């Protein structure tokens, strides 16, 4: 009988096996219709299996080089939450991609890398220590890189290489932190509150602080935090819409999860609170929030506008983590979930518009709501959520973030942070809502007769509807998510 601990490998190995099988479709000359059905079946099976296996609260040691370097998988509350988010978004986006890419000559290779990337993300979600997380974090980068350059154009290849160079640079920074902190117990198994040997650190405090900042900036590269953010607005416009959706919705969050593990489960926030590292982290996150919103506001290309928006919104999470109290932590981690659903939907909408109309620029979308009413209703709902309008989910996470900052007493960030978040929300309304207004109300003199219907196939717009509805449900019943996060925070602070 299989050891129950071995079941932890299923969420990792099953997507990899499915990805390898998808890569063989071209060799077997399977018809496009059957390819799509097979992909959906694979996604459904691995999603159900992964959710069931994530319920297991056990650990598994796969191998070790020595006593300090071990490959460990373990499932805790954070693993379950992030893992469930990954399979949910991957499943819905995969369904959309089957229709979006059905005539694409690189259909097979896209899904091969798409599914194997999911396996790597599930591995880092289950990682039990920092060396395991780092190993699969790097493998995720290598497998997601081909999705960015999927179209094989000169621009797509350049975007893919930029994504790779930035990712490798960030990973090397975090690897530096691992090397420097290894003598103080940094490679031990994750534990809420930290695992470092305080006595061994005595007299080496600056080593800790420099290493901590390198880790934050390094992993923050994947999250798009200034000054390592430039890959995002380059990669998203060139990648196909399903790749952009998971890049923004999930892959950027792996950097945030890595920082949570590094700061709260290895170093311990008490060792960084009040130091120049915390202040630097707060400054970088607020710069990114404001800069990303301003650049999105003035960007005319829709997908690039959404990419700059991601730069801004992911740093909401960074700001909440840098505040270092339980309320802001709850806001940061809940925003991981809420932003993932919202931004995935926005990129799927952008892809549907491009797929159906060929329009890529915002000024071309006048009357688009009359041509694609279902798609643009989804866009409007999640846009309001991203702005932070109640009763949608984005309001909940931003409320926790602002409340946590105000009660922190970390001057001047306790008041400056909420002010910048409010300015960013206004800018978010300024770059998202005009698409809705001009889309549904183009003006009395615009066009003649009945507009052409350009709504995509139901396979493409059902995932958008589902995530839009989830954005509303989680705003009305936020306890479905926040209760779990508050329990996680209670073990940390």
How many domains does the chain contain in total? 1
Task: Determine, yes or no, domain membership for 220.
Answer: no
Q: Contact 201/291 with Cβ under 8 angstroms?
A: no
Query: Has residue 323 been placed in a domain?
Result: yes
For residues 398 and 393, give the distance between their C-alpha atoms in angstroms, rounded to a whole number: 9
State how far the Cα of 354 lies from the Cα of 366, in Å rounded to an integer.
Answer: 14
Q: Is residue 149 a part of any domain in this protein? A: no
pLDDT by residue for the chain (493 residues), tens digit each?
A: 345 688 899 999 999 999 999 888 766 676 767 888 889 999 999 999 999 988 876 788 887 777 778 899 999 999 999 999 999 999 999 999 999 998 888 899 999 999 999 999 999 999 999 999 999 999 999 999 999 999 889 999 999 999 999 999 999 999 999 999 999 999 899 999 999 988 888 889 999 999 999 999 999 999 999 999 999 999 988 899 999 999 999 999 999 999 999 999 999 999 999 999 999 999 999 999 999 999 999 999 999 999 999 999 999 999 999 999 999 999 999 999 999 999 999 999 999 999 999 999 999 998 899 889 999 999 999 999 999 999 999 999 999 999 999 999 888 999 999 999 999 999 999 999 999 999 998 877 666 555 567 888 889 999 999 999 999 999 999 999 999 999 999 999 9
478 is a domain residue: yes
Q: What number of residues does the chain have?
A: 493
Residue 58: per-residue pLDDT: 76
Angle at 234 between CA 244 and CA 291, to 5 degrees: 100
231 belongs to a structural domain: no
Q: Is residue 400 part of a domain?
A: yes
- pLDDT for residue 172: 94
**Domain range for 318:** 273-493
In a domain, 365, yes or no: yes
Nearest Cα neighbor of 282 from 405, 374, 108 is 405
Q: Is residue 469 part of a domain?
A: yes
Which residues on adjacent β-strands are paired with residue 62?
A: none
The per-residue pLDDT for 362 is 93
């Amino acid at each position: 009988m299989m050891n129950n601990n071995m079941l932890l490998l299923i969420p990792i190995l099953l997507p990899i096996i499915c990805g390898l099988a998808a890569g063989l479709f071209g060799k077997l000359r399977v018809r496009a219709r059957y390819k799509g059905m097979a992909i959906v079946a694979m996604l459904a099976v691995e999603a159900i299996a992964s959710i069931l296996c994530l319920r297991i609260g056990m650990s598994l040691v796969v191998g070790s080089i020595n006593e300090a370097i071990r490959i460990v998988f373990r499932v805790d509350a954070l693993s379950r939450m992030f893992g469930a988010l990954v399979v949910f978004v991957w499943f819905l986006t995969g369904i959309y991609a089957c229709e979006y890419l059905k005539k694409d000559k690189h259909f097979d290779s896209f899904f091969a890398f798409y599914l194997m990337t999911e396996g790597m993300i599930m591995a880092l979600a289950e990682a039990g220590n920092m060396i395991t997380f780092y190993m699969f974090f790097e493998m995720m980068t290598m497998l997601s890189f081909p999705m960015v350059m999927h179209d094989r154009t000169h621009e797509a290849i350049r975007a893919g290489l930029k994504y790779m160079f930035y990712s490798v640079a960030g990973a090397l920074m975090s690897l530096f932190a691992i090397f420097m902190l290894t003598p103080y117990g940094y490679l031990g198994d994750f534990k809420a509150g930290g695992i470092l040997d305080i006595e061994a650190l005595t007299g080496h405090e600056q080593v800790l602080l420099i290493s901590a900042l390198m880790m934050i900036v390094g992993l923050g590269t994947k999250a798009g935090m200034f000054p390592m953010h430039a890959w995002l607005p380059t990669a998203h416009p060139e990648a196909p819409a399903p790749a952009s959706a998971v890049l923004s919705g999930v892959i950027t969050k792996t950097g945030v999860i890595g920082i949570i593990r590094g700061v709260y489960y290895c170093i311990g926030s008490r060792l960084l609170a009040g130091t120049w590292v915390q202040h630097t982290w707060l400054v970088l996150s607020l710069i990114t929030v404001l800069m990303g919103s301003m650049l999105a506001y003035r960007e005319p290309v829709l997908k690039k506008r959404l990419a700059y928006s991601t730069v801004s919104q992911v740093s909401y999470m960074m700001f909440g983590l840098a505040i270092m109290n339980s309320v802001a932590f709850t806001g940061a981690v809940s925003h991981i979930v809420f932003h993932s659903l919202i931004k995935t939907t926005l990129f799927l909408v952008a892809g549907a518009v491009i797929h159906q109309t060929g329009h890529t620029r915002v000024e071309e979308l006048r009357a688009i709501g009359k041509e694609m009413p279902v798609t643009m209703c989804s866009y409007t709902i999640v846009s309001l959520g991203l702005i932070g309008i109640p009763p949608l989910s984005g309001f909940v996470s931003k409320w926790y973030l602002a409340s946590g900052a105000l009660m922190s007493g970390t001057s001047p960030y306790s008041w400056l942070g909420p002010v910048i978040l409010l300015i960013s929300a206004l800018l978010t309304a300024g770059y998202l809502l005009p698409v809705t207004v001009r889309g549904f109300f183009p003006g009395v003199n615009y066009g003649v007769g009945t507009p052409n219907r350009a709504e995509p196939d139901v396979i493409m717009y059902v995932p958008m509807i589902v995530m839009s509805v989830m954005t509303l449900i989680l705003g009305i019943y936020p306890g479905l998510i926040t209760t779990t996060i508050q329990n996680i925070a209670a073990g940390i602070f």
